[in-house]
Structure 1
Amino acid sequence: MIWWFSCTVVLLLIFQDCLLVYYFLSSFKEHGRPDTVTIWPAVSLLIPSRNEEHTLPACLTALEELDYPPRKIQIILADDQSSDRTGAIIDQWVSQAPNRVKVGVEPMFSHLNGKANALAQMAHVATGDLLLFTDADCQVNPKWVRRMVSAYKPVYGLVVGVTHVRRRGLLAKMQGQDWWLTLGMIKVTSDRGNLLTAVGNNMLISKKAYHKVGGFEGLSFSVTEDFAMGKAIKEAGYRPVFEFVEESLVTTKAETGVADLLKQRKRWMKGALSLGWYWQALLALQALFFPFVLSIIFFDPSLGLVIWGGKVFLQVCFVWFLAKKASISIPVWELFIFEVYYLVISWSTIVYYFWPSKINWKERRY
């Protein structure tokens, strides 16, 4: 009985992975065509910062390379009560151009998490028709704004871009593959007409859609404010899309240690549990693969190893295709090592999620 049940579960996951690869290859959509845009709209770029003195300079340098009409872009930087030199860095940078604005964040919206509170206040001074969001630990590419703007249509309300983890060290590379796997699932569901979530460090929202849902201050408390915003925009009748190309790519830093990584994943898991039951079931299936395939190996080692090998092969193909679409090259050997990482991190995240501790994010506890 256990053997048959285990086989059923792992074969369902194999089937799911087959569908992911098939739909990604057969239904992939690009939404942006910068060469067809004749009049570029006004854009406000919102970047909240809290104790980012080490990552902010690289972020600002990348912003200086943006290929977008300077008169049509407003760059809003927020100092969210930092205790380091973040505020001074922002002051010096915004003084160099008239389209740069600094916002000093106050504890105005007590029902929001820190980042959502900052974004709500930044949106109040935004003058653009479109709002673009990224983080202070990210670096955008010069074509990013043009590509995201060209992908937008009023019916979408929200456009998500690609986030790539900077490949420095083995742990960072494994986190990068984890991002590709997650973003791939989001891309497939988006192209099938149901974007699962927004991605806070790379998304565009029209000001009209933003105000229609009441802005961030109109949301209930959530430790994943991007997920909450994406959900609200879909419920308002919009059809968000995912622009998955090299030009829409933003590079972010990896978590530097396992402890910080688990804190991040605990927060993300909190957001994932807000999905519908069917999506939760699919995510649970990913984690349940490991104990069930091990039970098959216990009864029939050859069959269990073949099934596991098949799953790894499909996963390798999926992640490789994803990265290739964004012009990122990943050595095949890394893709196979990722299976060990994924086994350890996925189950460690589950254990840590239920551990009786608060979510620690940007020196704030929720």
Structure 2
Amino acid sequence: MAVRQGFQDRRPVMEFAAILIVIGLVFQDFLLSSFLVFNFYGFRGEIPKEWPHVTILIPSRNEEKNLPRCLYSVNKLDYPLDKLEIILGDDRSGDRTWEILEDWQRQKDHVHIMKISEGNPEEMNGKANALAQMVGKSQGSLLLFTDADCVLPPTWVKSMVRAQLESQAGVVTGITSVAPKSLFARMQGMDWWLTLGMVKVISDWGNAVTSMGNNMLITKKAYEAVGGFAGIPFSLTEDFEIGKAIKEKGFRSIHLVSNENLAQTEAIQGYGELLRQRKRWMYGAMQLPMFWKLLLALQVAFFPAILFLVFLHPFEGLAVWLFKVATQGFFIYLFASKTGEKLKKRDFVFFELYYLATAWSTIVYYFWPSKTDWKGRKYG
């Protein structure tokens, strides 16, 4: 009886708070869409008279399944070979990764392969250690980073380089989608479109706060200014950390979104693996400025707020929830269309359920006292 009375006493305040959260998120989605329409920067850039010398770096650890697709796309890249260097690293793999790299490298003078030596796990994570060693062998004035599970469009290098030349940025973050091979993969893809759409909008405001290691350009000058991956603090999100360090040195950072630089990555196969990936990403998210944390908190807080309103007012609550799905879906659809991608509209409802489950399970898993497993190495 006392519990019920307590709930009745607090209900007006709780209901008002829930309404504010729901309205806030819907308004946020409306603003995001508006800025995407009216404040979108393409950074196409003019074709230079002489292309700069670039180095593409691709680290691999147990990637025998993904490497053939990646290397096939790399072989199709449209860039002058006399200005192109490719460095492929085998990060102590236990499968056929090195054999695949050796076979592909034959008779390609612009391609170099190297075996990565084990670093100090307290100073750098495995990927940062691999990239630090690979960059140390590079000759290009522009460094392009991608992963062994990514497929690149032929125009990838030229589009990233043109954007850098136009903007004179120290960091150019590209755009990556998830191969839509299943419903679970398409849901992960929606998650990427939503998150990267927010990154793009905020970046075009002039407040870039992150980068993405599977589709990224860093000038050699900016890289050396921060001491490279060896010069930044230990992080499980080395791309975020080096992007932040370069920004703090005064270099510009931009986000390029187009069909010309759209890479495609493979989806996570199982829910447990997805949570492990998200736990690693959460380490980076916790280092974001307060404004970003508030945006992410609003996304997460929406679900208990709307469920509470549906409980109190079923018809009105469900109507508002559907409206939120529509506004969020419009933003995601609009952002994806900037790269020529056409999403399945019916997936937006499934995505809402997926996002509800993953948002809260990620928070629980992040605070769960366990180490982070990444490519067979444990951190934390």
TM-score range, shorter chain: over 0.9
Residue 306 of structure 1 deviates from its aligned partner by 2.1
* Residue 101 of structure 2: aligned partner: 90
Indicate the larger mover: 6-15 or 53-62. 6-15
2:237 to 202, 224, 241: 224
Rg larger for: 2
Over the aligned positions, Cα root-mean-square deviation in angstroms equals 1.0
Question: What 5-or-longer segments of structure 2 have no aligned partner?
Answer: 1-12
* Residue 24 of structure 2: aligned partner: 12
Give deviations 1:182-213, integer Å, cap 9, x for gaps: 11000000100011210000000000000001
Residue 292 of structure 1 deviates from its aligned partner by 0.6
**Aligned-partner Cα distance in 2 for 1:197–1:109:** 25
* Residue 90 of structure 2: aligned partner: 79
Is 1:63 aligned to residue 41 of structure 2? no
* Residue 196 of structure 1: aligned partner: 209
Residue 103 of structure 1 deviates from its aligned partner by 1.7
**Aligned-partner Cα distance in 2 for 1:270–1:11:** 29
Question: What 5-or-longer segments of structure 1 have no aligned partner?
Answer: none
For 1:265, give the aligned amino acid. R
**Aligned-partner Cα distance in 2 for 1:293–1:167:** 29
Q: Is the 8 A contact 1:296 1:304 kept in 2?
A: yes
For 1:122, give the aligned amino acid. M
Is 1:347 aligned to residue 360 of structure 2? yes
Indicate the larger mover: 172-181 or 13-22. 13-22
**Aligned-partner Cα distance in 1 for 2:119–2:304:** 47
SS at match of 2:79: coil
**Aligned-partner Cα distance in 1 for 2:336–2:97:** 33
TM-score (norm 2): 0.94
Residue 303 of structure 1 deviates from its aligned partner by 2.3
Is 1:107 aligned to residue 138 of structure 2? no
Between the two proteins, the alignment pairs up a number of residues equal to 365
Is 1:32 aligned to residue 40 of structure 2? no
Q: Is the 8 A contact 2:62 2:93 kept in 1?
A: yes
* Residue 333 of structure 1: aligned partner: 346
Residue 55 of structure 1 deviates from its aligned partner by 0.3
**Aligned-partner Cα distance in 1 for 2:317–2:236:** 39
Give deviations 1:289-345, integer Å, cap 9, x for gaps: 000111111222222122211211111101111111111111110122111111111
**Aligned-partner Cα distance in 1 for 2:32–2:120:** 40
* Residue 148 of structure 1: aligned partner: 160
Percent identity between the two aligned chains: 49
**Aligned-partner Cα distance in 2 for 1:119–1:57:** 20
**Aligned-partner Cα distance in 2 for 1:238–1:303:** 48
Question: Counterparts in 2 of 1:276-295, with a 5 A limit?
Answer: 276-295=289-308
Q: Is the 8 A contact 2:119 2:126 kept in 1?
A: no
For 1:38, give the aligned amino acid. K
Residue 109 of structure 1 deviates from its aligned partner by 4.6
SS at match of 1:332: coil
**Aligned-partner Cα distance in 2 for 1:61–1:109:** 33
